[in-house]
Amino acid sequence: MGTAVRTPRAALLLPVLGPLALLGAACTTAHPGTDTARPARQVDVAPLIRMTPAAGGTADPAIPLTVTVVRGRLTDVTVTDAAGRQVAGGLSADQRSWHSTSPLGAGTRYTVRISADDGHGGRGDTTTVLTTGVGTQLLTAVLGPSQAVDGGSGVYGVGEPVTAQLSRPVHDPAGRAAVEHGLKVTSQPAVSGAWHWVDDSTLHFRPEHYWPAHARVQVAFDAQGRRIGKDLYGGPTSRVAFSTGDQVEALVDAATDWMTFRRNGKVVRTLPVTTGKPGFETRNGIKVVLGQEAEVRMDGETVGIAADSADSYDLEVQWATRLTWSGEYVHAAPWSVASQGHENVSHGCTGMSTENAHWFYQQVRMGDVLRVINSHGHPMEPFGNGFGDWNVSWKDWLAGSATGVVVSTGAPGAALPDGVRIRATGALAPLL
């Protein structure tokens, strides 16, 4: 924001737009011993003002803006872009100079309004324009989830994380912090959440616990013109919005071979299942539904099983709900109905009867959560094989943020009180 410094004898001047325009005086000076006031003498202060970078050319956005006066003092400096956003700045103690304290954006046109006192009882305003050059590289972000689900309704399960895929890698911690400051998540109702860097060009955002049911979420990458790193500036703004449906949770117990299906906290149905047999154990942990296919071909060779092996298979499978990119599904397995509810005979998927798999398929959507317990398999990967985000403790999730700040989604970028961050624990998201 602009910095205004006034003496007891002066009130704020009202600027007149236009390059190097002079202001009609609005200040008054009282004469000693009288009750009358007279307007301050108007002067052209433009010749007294020096600005670096200079107006007229194309400025380097990496160079802070400095305004000085060769005589007298500055009384107000305001720098705004076309959207009305102000550049923060500070006035020196002697009021002879002002400098910006927040970065200038790349490829941005700024209006600079300056009020000054000439030191001889005269006052005036001047307005000029500063244009910054475009960075050699622009950083953009593709935000997820896509809205192209449920016929374009944009409704997801409560486990769906927000994703940001950057167009260029960002390695520097300060640059990463600048990216996080440009990413805004708001929701109704509000939640406490944080960003986590998956790698140099990928971030995920999740609440400490699952999203509330029937929440509305809006996400934006709004860092246009902001300096991210050397010759790297924020590019065009991107946005996405989505909603959540009911809170759907499925718990698969590999020891009992039963699934417990809950909707909004209430048990709706229990189903007999079979999970991975020895050597092909199903992954333990929380998984998020990635997609659904009414029919899919499953071939053992695609997961490294030789065609001449006793474990080989090549099947057309119905009602398949995908949980990992490597091929773990909940699907119809009519060939194993006798084992369902009794023993684990699959190659890692959760098998059901055709009727039960069809029912499950109709009950879930992308973003719904399923947790497997008591399997002897490896734990679900946090990243890279689907959305295993919920298997990361909240403490470790925060450690993956460049700012380490817990964000309230009730207002754009609003940080919670400092105590919230240091009270974060290592507890997992709610158990299913």
Active site positions, annotated: 331, 349
Burial class (CB in 10 A: 0-12, 13-18, 19+), 131: middle
CB-CB contact of 246 with 264 (8 Å): yes
- CA dist., res. 9 & res. 213, Å (int): 59
In degrees, rounded to 5, the angle at the alpha carbon of residue 227 between the alpha carbons of residues 222 and 231 is 125
- CA dist., res. 143 & res. 412, Å (int): 16
User: For residue 336, which phi and psi values (nearest 5 degrees)?
Assistant: -120, 20
CB-CB contact of 194 with 405 (8 Å): yes
CB-CB contact of 5 with 74 (8 Å): yes
In degrees, rounded to 5, the angle at the alpha carbon of residue 361 between the alpha carbons of residues 356 and 364 is 120
- CA dist., res. 54 & res. 63, Å (int): 11
The number of beta carbons lying within 10 Å of the beta carbon of residue 232 is 21
Burial class (CB in 10 A: 0-12, 13-18, 19+), 385: middle
CB-CB contact of 96 with 75 (8 Å): no
Of 164, 163, 156, 185, nearest to 243 (Cα)? 156
Both tokens assigned to 313: 């298979």
CB-CB contact of 367 with 157 (8 Å): yes
Instruction: Name the CA radius of gyration of the chain, rounded.
Output: 31
**DSSP code per residue over 316-383:** EEEEEEE--TTS-EEEE-GGGTTTTTT---BSSSEEE-HHHHHHHHHH--TT-EEEEES-SSPBPPSS
Cα torsion angle, 345, 349, 352, 355, sign: negative
CB-CB contact of 126 with 91 (8 Å): no
- CA dist., res. 175 & res. 172, Å (int): 5
Residue 243 belongs to what H/E stretch? strand 238-244
